[in-house]
Amino acid sequence: MKKFGKHLTVVLKKMCKMVKVDLEKINFKKENWFWDYTWTEKKQEEFIKWFEGYLMKNKGAREEMLRFPKRDKQMIKKAVQEFVSNYGWKTE
């Protein structure tokens, strides 16, 4: 598996857990790897809520994953939305 930062690994594990797949089974070198699994809109919203909370509570995660790691709710919401739009599983 490709080596990721500590906090990105936590986020990817959570994404994988939500679709019942082992993180180690994902080929991150494959183009569009995030199209291999699907989740419902409800699962996606659950993940977004979790991810926003994770970033709000965790300074280290903000520093690793955000360009401007302020504890700002609107900036975090935007960053999470961008992440999900770019790397979230397909929705059913």
Domain annotation covers residue 50: yes
Domain annotation covers residue 74: yes
Residue 50: pLDDT band with limits 50, 70, 90:
very high
The domain in which residue 69 lies consists of 6-91
Chain-centroid distance of CA 13 in Å reads 8
Check if the beta carbon of residue 55 is closer than 8 Å to that of residue 61. Answer: yes
Tally the domains of the chain. 1
Q: What's the whole-model pTM score?
A: 0.92
pLDDT of residue 2: 58
Domain annotation covers residue 38: yes
Domain annotation covers residue 65: yes
Separation CA 68–CA 92 (nearest Å): 32
Share of the chain above pLDDT 70, in %: 98
